[in-house]
C-alpha cells in the first residue's frame, strides 16, 4: 500500500483487515478490535483505538486513512429539532436532521449531495447533483446524530429515515452498504425495521429492492395519484408512471412482505380536494400500505402553499372512512429550514 494514495480502512471487510494483520505478522484478533472501533464505537481516528499499541496505531496511519465527516454548522429549532450541515471528505456539504418527538428520536439523513430529480416543491431539487455519498459518510451521519440524541435529550436514536438530500435508489450500492453497517451487530445494531428509505419512484430499482429481499421499510413520495398532476410536480413520473410504480410496489411487497408507506405532501388548491383523495384511495388498492399526509413547508420562490387545516382534516377523514391507515405529519424544525422539503444546503454544496 505504498504511494501517495492511502486506502480508506473502512472500505475493507473484517476478513481483509485480518489478512492485512497476518501479512505484518500481527495476531488475527487485532482485526476484530479495529473493526469494532470503526463500526461499533464509531472511532474517528486511529489514536482513539486505545487497546492497540502506539506502534501499531502509527503503522495503521502510515498504511491507511480514516476519513470521517464533521459538523460544519448546527442549528437547534424552537421545537428541539437539530439541523446539521455535514462537511464530507472532499469539503462538500450535505445536511442531516435529528427530529425528536415524544415517541421517537429520528435521524433524517442524506444519500447524495444535491439531487438530479428537480421536484418542483423541494428545495434540494433546485440544486444540481454534485455526487453520491459514500456508505461510510452515510454511516457517519447516523453516528453523529445518534450522539446528539443521547447528549442533548438523553434518549437513544430510535428511527432512521433516508429522506434528506438526494434520491437513495440512485446511490444503490452505497445505500445497501450503509444499511448493512448501521444494522450489523458489530455496527450500530439498529433494527432494519426502524429504517425507512424514501424514493421519488424508480420502478426497476424498486423491483431490485424486492429481489434483494431488503429488510428495511420503503416509502414512496407520491403526492398525486394521477399521472398528469404527478408529471407536473415530479418529472421522474414521465418515465415511471403510476401504473409501472404500482406493479413494482406489488412485486416489492410480494418479495419482502413489507407494507409500503405513501408520502403525500398536501398542497393548497392542487391536490387537496376530495376528488384527489378518491384517486389516492383507488391507488392504495394496489398494495398493502399506510399513508402519511405531510404538511407542506414553503420554500423560497416556490409555487405552492400549505393547504388549509380543514381541507387536510377532510382529506384524511375521507381516507380513514375507507379503512386506510392514515397519519398526518406536522412540520418540525420549520424555523431553521429543517422541515421536509426544505433542505437547501444554504452553506453551499461546494468545496469550502
- Beta strands 82-87 and 70-76, pairing class: antiparallel
Q: State the CATH class of domain 7-65.
A: mainly alpha
Name the E strands within 158-283. Answer: 159-162, 195-199, 217-221, 260-266
- The C-alpha atoms of residue 38 and residue 15 are separated, in whole angstroms, by 14
Rounded Cα distance, 111 and 125, in Å: 14
Per-residue CA distances from 283 to 104, 242, 266, 286, 287 (Å): 29, 8, 16, 6, 8
C-alpha to C-alpha distances, 132 to 112, 292, 325, nearest whole angstrom: 4, 27, 34
Q: How many CB atoms lie within 10 A of CB 299?
A: 21
Single out the residue of 226, 253, 229, 254 nearest to residue 242, CA to CA: 226
All three cell numbers of 157, joined, read 436514536
CA–chain centroid gap for 86, Å, is 14
Q: What is the structure's pLDDT at 126?
A: 74
Q: What is the pLDDT of residue 1?
A: 38
**Which cell numbers hold the place of 263?**
408520502
- State the pLDDT at residue 137: 98
Question: Considering Cα of 337, then 342, then 348, then 350, what sign does the dihedral take?
Answer: positive
Judge contact between 148 and 155, C-beta under 8 A.
Answer: no
Catalytic site includes residue 108: no
CA dihedral over 113, 119, 123, 127, signed as positive or negative: positive
Nearest Cα to 178, choosing from 164, 192, 158, 193? Answer: 192
What is the DSSP track for 9-26? Answer: GGGS-HHHHHHHHHHTT-
Return the bridge partners of 98, or none: 82, 107
Residue 50 makes CB contacts below 8 A (sequence gap 6+) with none
Delimit the CATH 3.20.20.70 region(s) of the chain. 70-336
Q: Residues 116-128: pLDDT tens digits?
A: 888 887 877 677 8
Residue ranges of the chain assigned to CATH 1.10.150.530: 7-65
Angle in degrees, 0-180, between the axes of helices 274-284 and 309-320, rounded to the nearest 10:
30
Question: Mean pLDDT of successive 10-residue segments in the chain (352 residues)?
Answer: 75 97 95 97 96 96 96 92 95 95 96 88 80 98 98 97 96 98 96 98 98 98 96 95 97 97 95 97 94 83 83 96 92 58 44 26
Tally: H helices and E strands in the chain: 10, 14
Half-sphere exposure of 156 (CA within 13 A, CB side): 5
The strand pairing partners of 86, in sequence order, are: 71, 94
Q: Which CATH number fits domain 70-336: 3.40.309.10, 3.20.20.70, 2.40.50.140, 3.40.50.300?
A: 3.20.20.70
Residue in 95, 137, 167, 263 annotated catalytic: 95
**Strand-by-strand arrangement of the 82-87 sheet:** 70-76, 82-87, 93-100, 105-108, 159-162, 195-199, 217-221, 260-266, 289-295, 325-329
What residues does 97 pair with on adjacent strands? 83, 108
Q: Cα 68 to the chain's mean position, in Å?
A: 18
Read off the pTM: 0.91
Q: Indicate which residue of 115, 122, 284, 340 is catalytic.
A: 340
Q: Is 95 tagged catalytic?
A: yes
Which pLDDT does position 163 carry in this prediction? Answer: 93
Counted residue by residue, the chain has a size of 352
Whole-number pLDDT of residue 351: 28
CB atoms within 10 A of CB 24: 11
Q: SS3 for 74?
A: strand
pLDDT, position 61: 97
Amino acid at each position: 500500500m505504498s504511494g501517495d494514495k492511502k486506502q480508506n480502512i473502512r472500505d475493507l471487510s473484517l476478513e481483509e483487515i485480518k489478512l492485512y494483520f497476518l501479512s505484518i505478522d500481527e495476531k488475527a484478533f487485532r482485526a476484530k478490535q479495529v473493526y469494532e472501533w470503526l463500526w461499533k464505537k464509531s472511532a474517528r481516528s486511529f489514536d482513539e483505538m486505545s487497546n492497540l499499541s502506539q506502534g501499531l496505531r502509527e503503522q495503521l496511519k502510515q498504511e491507511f486513512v480514516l476519513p470521517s465527516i464533521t459538523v460544519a454548522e448546527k442549528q437547534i429549532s424552537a421545537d428541539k429539532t437539530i439541523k446539521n450541515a455535514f462537511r464530507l471528505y472532499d469539503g462538500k456539504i450535505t445536511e442531516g436532521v435529528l427530529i425528536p418527538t415524544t415517541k421517537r428520536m429520528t435521524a433524517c439523513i442524506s444519500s447524495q449531495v444535491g439531487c438530479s430529480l428537480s421536484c418542483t416543491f423541494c428545495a434540494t431539487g433546485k440544486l444540481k447533483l454534485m455526487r453520491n455519498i459514500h456508505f461510510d459518510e452515510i454511516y457517519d451521519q447516523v453516528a453523529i446524530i445518534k450522539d446528539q440524541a443521547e447528549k442533548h435529550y438523553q434518549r437513544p436514536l430510535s428511527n432512521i429515515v433516508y429522506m434528506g438530500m438526494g434520491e437513495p435508489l440512485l446511490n444503490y450500492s452505497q445505500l445497501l452498504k450503509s444499511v448493512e453497517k448501521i444494522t450489523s451487530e458489530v455496527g450500530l445494531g439498529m433494527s432494519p425495521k426502524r429504517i425507512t428509505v424514501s424514493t421519488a419512484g424508480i420502478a426497476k430499482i424498486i423491483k431490485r429492492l424486492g429481489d434483494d429481499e431488503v429488510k428495511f421499510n420503503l416509502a414512496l413520495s407520491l403526492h398525486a395519484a394521477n399521472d398528469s398532476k404527478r408529471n407536473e410536480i415530479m418529472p421522474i413520473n414521465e418515465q415511471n408512471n403510476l401504473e409501472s410504480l404500482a406493479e413494482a410496489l406489488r412485486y416489492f411487497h410480494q418479495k419482502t412482505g413489507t407494507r409500503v408507506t405513501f408520502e403525500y405532501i398536501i398542497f393548497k388548491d392542487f391536490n387537496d380536494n376530495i376528488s384527489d383523495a378518491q384517486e389516492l384511495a383507488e391507488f392504495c388498492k394496489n398494495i398493502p400500505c399506510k399513508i402519511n399526509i405531510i404538511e407542506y413547508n414553503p420554500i423560497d420562490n416556490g409555487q405552492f402553499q400549505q393547504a388549509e387545516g380543514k381541507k387536510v382534516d377532510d382529506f384524511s377523514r375521507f381516507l380513514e372512512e375507507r379503512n386506510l391507515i392514515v397519519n398526518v405529519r406536522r412540520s418540525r424544525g420549520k424555523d431553521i429550514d429543517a422541515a421536509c422539503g426544505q433542505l437547501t444546503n444554504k452553506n453551499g454544496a461546494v468545496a469550502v
